[in-house]
Amino acid sequence: MKRLLYLLFAILLGTNAAMAQLKSNEHDKDIDIELLRKLQIAQLAITQLYVDSVDQNKLVEDAINGMLEKLDPHSSYSNAQQTKKLNEPLEGNFEGIGVQFNMLEDTLVVIQTISKGPSEKAGIVAGDRFVTCDDVTIAGVKMERDSIMRMLRGPKGTKVKLGVKRNGNKDLIYFTLKRDKIPVNTLGASYMITPKTGYIELDRFGATSGKEVKEAIAQLQRQGMQNLILDLTANGGGYLGAAFEVADQFLEKNDLVVYTEGRTTPRQVFHAEGGGLFTQGKLAILVSEYSASAAEIVAGAIQDHDRGTIIGRRTFGKGLVQRPIDLPDGSMIRLTVSHYYTPSGRCIQKPYVKGQHDEYSQDLNNRFTHGELTSIDSIHLDSTKVYHTLREGRTVYGGGGIMPDVFVPLDTTTYTKLYTGIRRLGLINSASLKYIDRNRKKLRAEYPDFNDFLRHYEVPQSLIDDIIAQAAEKDVKPKDDEELQATVPDLKFTLKALVAYDIWDRNEYFRIINEKSDIVKRALEVLESGT
């Protein structure tokens, strides 16, 4: 007990000392010293006196999470491992062996090796199966995908020994690879969708996004691009700096891109630096209910400056700025400190109630239920939040998210109930992977050129029949022959895109799926016919 009293006394002294250091902060009046003491004493008392042993680390993490859960939906805590995993897709690289893969019946199958990465240099090829890693069996043992990835990744310069099963070889082939920095690209596709119009799909806003978009624009301009479609429909955001760099390619010097402001955070303004590669041609930005944060910043800036046409559906409405607070053990708090505002003054963040995260998470489902995603007549604009674009004075609305200039409804009639059921079971992906694995060499030999593949490749009926049979085994069946016949073309279309992705890359995948995209079709109409 004496020891506990001494510790409590030390806490009081330590708290006083810490508070003395905080006195220089202009917001020190918001800090309640007694509450800090209360929190520390509670943690110490539980640790020292509770009837059962406690995990101190978990106790502290639960306390942090408990506090953050009472705040906005985007303030969060992540432990050291989670923090590293969360940052990787945005940092521009990770350290590993450089392969793209899929899991086929709990075995890792290589789809592609990353150019100039360790796997390519060692001679690993598409279709190879990883059986062992550092003499530990990883195939056929129901090992989790994340566990396999942790074994393959590691610090640059470290070595990993792989036992590989290759088609045509009876025995395993062994490779020793030296791990290296592996680039993480954020650009999903870049190609000329018509002789005059380029198309760029951006997955997220990472450290390399500005450079990737700039290089893609330059390449498309060399191919004669006059108009551009920038697809942000599946872009959930990322770095503010990356959003600024991308927007900079389209705006004039000193154009306001975005500003941020919070209770204790002074206003910060971000202006275009000028010198962008595409400041004059026709521009369409594609958005959906999944476009968020940095994607909304770009769309809002383009709209407010009347630089391009926003096409699609109202964006997510994530306009809260998180400041990362690094903790000593590698963990991190992402604390909301301010809001994002578009150049016209619209707050991007949609409304929320502190602590009611479940209701917030159901927003997209509510939008669908209320018809906002499928009918323009169901969209209710907030008449109290009227703003105007900066060049043409067009009316735009606040209230959360970016409302497009041209609405394209979500088509809920595109697919049959049978197709939806088959996709929900994951049968399309698994069947395509098995088919490609058996026929990869043949397909690559038969279709060395993608355009030839696009014109002539037909998905075999046997693959369709196999999928339909597998679905029937799981009690997913067509109600009649009419539904079956209506489903087959969609199955063939999706499978053809997946085959293209495996043989080539996502660029070719998008070239196929965009043929049926209503948003892309509408964008082409707007850009090339002016309607």
SS3 202: strand
The residues pairing with 164 across neighbouring beta strands, listed in sequence order, are 130, 173
Told to judge if 375 belongs to the known catalytic residues of this protein, a careful annotator would answer no
Residue 92: band (very low, low, confident or very high) from pLDDT cuts 50, 70, 90: low
Measured between alpha carbons, how far is 531 from 522 in angstroms, rounded to an integer? Answer: 9
pLDDT in tens, 237-275: 988 999 999 999 999 999 999 999 998 889 999 999 999
The residues pairing with 101 across neighbouring beta strands, listed in sequence order, are 110
Q: For residues 135 and 162, is the Cβ–Cβ distance under 8 A?
A: no
Which residue's structure tokens are 């209503």? 518
Q: What is the DSSP letter of 516?
A: G
List the domain boundaries for the chain: 2-54, 93-183, 187-410, 417-522
**Ramachandran angles phi, psi of 141, nearest 5°:** -120, 15
Q: Which of 72, 203, 304, 363 is catalytic?
A: 304
User: What pLDDT, on a 0 to 100 scale, did the predictor assign at position 415?
Assistant: 84
Q: Which of 76, 128, 165, 318 is catalytic?
A: 318
Listed residue (433, 415, 414, 425) closest to 476, CA to CA: 425
pLDDT in tens, 122-150: 888 878 889 999 999 988 888 888 788 88
Told to judge if 293 belongs to the known catalytic residues of this protein, a careful annotator would answer yes
Q: What is the DSSP letter of 515?
A: G
Q: Which of 209, 293, 338, 432 is catalytic?
A: 293
Measured between alpha carbons, how far is 508 from 451 in angstroms, rounded to an integer? Answer: 9
Concatenate the DSSP letters of all residues of 65-102 into one string. Answer: HHHHHTS-TT-EEE-HHHHHHHHHHHHSEEEE--EEEE
Q: For residues 61 and 68, is the Cβ–Cβ distance under 8 A?
A: no
Q: Which two tokens stand for residue 36?
A: 């800090």
**Residue range 378-394: mean pLDDT, rounded:** 90
Which residue's structure tokens are 């209230």? 399
User: What pLDDT, on a 0 to 100 scale, did the predictor assign at position 151?
Assistant: 87
Residue 155: CB atoms within 10 A of its CB come to: 8
21: pLDDT strictly greater than 70: no
Listed residue (216, 298, 295, 205) closest to 251, CA to CA: 298
Can you give the pTM of this predicted structure? 0.83
Told to judge if 318 belongs to the known catalytic residues of this protein, a careful annotator would answer yes
Which residue's structure tokens are 């004075």? 393
CA dihedral 406, 409, 415, 419 (to 10 degrees): 100
Q: Which two tokens stand for residue 520?
A: 């892309």
Q: Does domain 187-410 have CATH number 3.90.226.10?
A: yes
Q: For residues 278 and 372, is the Cβ–Cβ distance under 8 A?
A: no
Q: Is the dihedral of CA 25, 26, 28, 30 positive or negative?
A: negative
Fold (CATH) for 93-183: Pdz3 Domain (2.30.42)
CA atoms in the 13 A half-sphere facing the CB of 451: 3
Q: Are strands 93-96 and 197-202 parallel, antiparallel or unpaired?
A: unpaired
Question: What is the percentage of the chain residues whose pLDDT exceeds 90?
Answer: 51
Q: For residues 372 and 314, is the Cβ–Cβ distance under 8 A?
A: yes
Mean pLDDT of the chain: 87
**Residue range 206-218: mean pLDDT, rounded:** 95
